[in-house]
Structure 1
């Protein structure tokens, strides 16, 4: 490797995706702000009713609250900047800004799958061990597990970002509308073996471990539901299907986003790198509050009740 490559110091990157969509940038910006606003509204309502209604002070609703807050965190790390960049015509991002955005998006993604795992385990205990459930899964236990997992995710994502920070970048063009680790790795000109090994082992450990736990809990829960009375079984399966629907959308969009790296060559690669993140990230960071807000009966009723109160006060 030549010394000229070693001495390159990149401080700013160009998000090529923003340049590609600048012709209809205002439309995308309006859509981004609309999605962000709707998600913020739904998340705020879910958090508010969960916090204020004592009947919702249960592990399942606490976990739903934590999940939608994490979704909002992922949403906030993506849509506002996208809208601002499109409206201002800015297509560059600093190295610091790039790493911060990458950190936020990665933290959202890794914590999401751990939250799904905790929710699957919670539903398994609720259906499989109803008499011991309130002893095994208390509110304090739920909050402790969630906090411990969050700290763990902050640590592992921070290590990944620090490994990326030590790399030397020879390119500045990122074929995306936002910054994330895989796009940055494509611009590195020195040895990235340690970074690749770390991310690969971590991804396999998290993906396989969480998926095995989730599949076991869901299968066991379904088997137990089949043995319950019709009414109890219907209620349990409805709740379970809500979780499965949200988890399925998360997994599909995750695969959807990762699939683009297998299409990183050829004349369609730039378009693919732009369209897939726009659609995939938009879905991944938006739908869960809507799913849980609409399909969870207790939450839906409390949200509707609070909206009626707000509308009633506004008319007085």
Structure 2
């Protein structure tokens, strides 16, 4: 009954159902009876995400010995994790305690933009981090002359502005669609699902074309990362010192990259080709994997694998113990 009421509300706001102003997040249907429990666990988990990422950022920012390109990129990586999770968890927590899980049209577009730009920025940052490791290990004599503060700033801007610009165009195209539905079968808004609510498939042609352009751009990111690691592995195979450096600085990057690609591909493949017969709880887990695993795992892996950061953390713990 509650869902029917909000469906009617969406339609009554305008005479034509093409002008949807409110979306219903139907992914919450199975959380009604244990919303408070989920709220408690999610609050704790989100607090851990904030603590781990902010702590790592502060350690790097406050320690001048860590003001190196690799650590600056790591700060950008953690900030992006905070950006993406902030676009999901506060709204999710409110919905868990609410009797109605709805989101405004504008809020839905903003959330879809944050989710997509967060994921794309992650891959862009990982590509820049791979390039940094390539220069450090394969071209050590040219590393400092090339990776200047100015060049580093350009790379950081590239990793943020490229996805923001691309996704802005995606969302603008989506905002021009006339929609004939208001039900989103997820816990949060996703651009592709909004597009599927369009009244006519012909209207979504520009969205589809630009979506494929976006995919091509980030597949190229993937090929670039593969190319850098082919050279890294070839170089490290010839030198024991390079192998040590690879294990210390590249393994965390590879773990982050593998985890990110795995959870994103699972979500994308399910969203495009998956069956709706799966339990809603499993569908929800698949949808939010990229907001659950990487934001906690990344700061932990880098914090304890990178020697300088680990020593700094142990030093702080030692001071407190004294």
TM-score (norm 1): 0.90
1:168 is the counterpart of 2:178: yes
- Per the TM alignment, residue 136 of structure 1 is displaced from its structure 2 partner at its CA by 1.0
CA distance in 1, matches of 2:111, 2:321: 37
CA distance in 2, matches of 1:294, 1:246: 14
**Using a 3 Å threshold, how does the CA distance of structure 1 residues 200 and 270 change in structure 2: closer, same or farther?**
farther
Match for residue 217 of structure 1? 228
Q: Residue 122 of structure 1 is aligned with which of 119, 132, 149?
A: 132
Residue correspondence of structure 1 range 34-183 to structure 2 within 5 A = 34-183=44-193
CA distance in 1, matches of 2:101, 2:17: 25
CA distance in 2, matches of 1:73, 1:210: 21
Given that 2:260 and 2:290 are in contact with CA atoms closer than 8 Å, whether structure 1 keeps it comes out as no
Match for residue 237 of structure 2? 226
Report the RMSD for the aligned CA atoms in angstroms.
2.0
- Per the TM alignment, residue 268 of structure 1 is displaced from its structure 2 partner at its CA by 2.6
Match for residue 213 of structure 2? 201
- Per the TM alignment, residue 269 of structure 1 is displaced from its structure 2 partner at its CA by 6.9
Stretches of structure 1 lacking an aligned partner (at least 5 in a row): none
**Using a 3 Å threshold, how does the CA distance of structure 1 residues 311 and 163 change in structure 2: closer, same or farther?**
farther
Stretches of structure 2 lacking an aligned partner (at least 5 in a row): 1-13
For 1:14, what is the secondary structure of its paired residue?
strand
**Using a 3 Å threshold, how does the CA distance of structure 1 residues 256 and 54 change in structure 2: closer, same or farther?**
same
For 1:21, what is the secondary structure of its paired residue?
helix
For 1:178, what is the secondary structure of its paired residue?
coil
**Using a 3 Å threshold, how does the CA distance of structure 1 residues 302 and 192 change in structure 2: closer, same or farther?**
same
Given that 1:45 and 1:303 are in contact with CA atoms closer than 8 Å, whether structure 2 keeps it comes out as no
CA distance in 2, matches of 1:30, 1:159: 37
CA deviation profile, 1:216-244 (whole Å, cap 9, x unmatched):
1111111111111x344223233111110
Given that 1:57 and 1:139 are in contact with CA atoms closer than 8 Å, whether structure 2 keeps it comes out as no
Match for residue 286 of structure 1? 296
Match for residue 10 of structure 2? none
Given that 2:256 and 2:294 are in contact with CA atoms closer than 8 Å, whether structure 1 keeps it comes out as no
- Per the TM alignment, residue 28 of structure 1 is displaced from its structure 2 partner at its CA by 2.2
CA deviation profile, 1:111-145 (whole Å, cap 9, x unmatched):
11110110001001000111111111123311221
Match for residue 253 of structure 1? 263
Aligned length: 307
CA distance in 1, matches of 2:290, 2:155: 29
Given that 1:128 and 1:221 are in contact with CA atoms closer than 8 Å, whether structure 2 keeps it comes out as yes
Match for residue 192 of structure 1? 204
CA deviation profile, 1:186-237 (whole Å, cap 9, x unmatched):
2111220111111111112222x11111011111111111111x34422323
Match for residue 276 of structure 1? 286
- Per the TM alignment, residue 7 of structure 1 is displaced from its structure 2 partner at its CA by 5.6
CA distance in 2, matches of 1:240, 1:266: 39
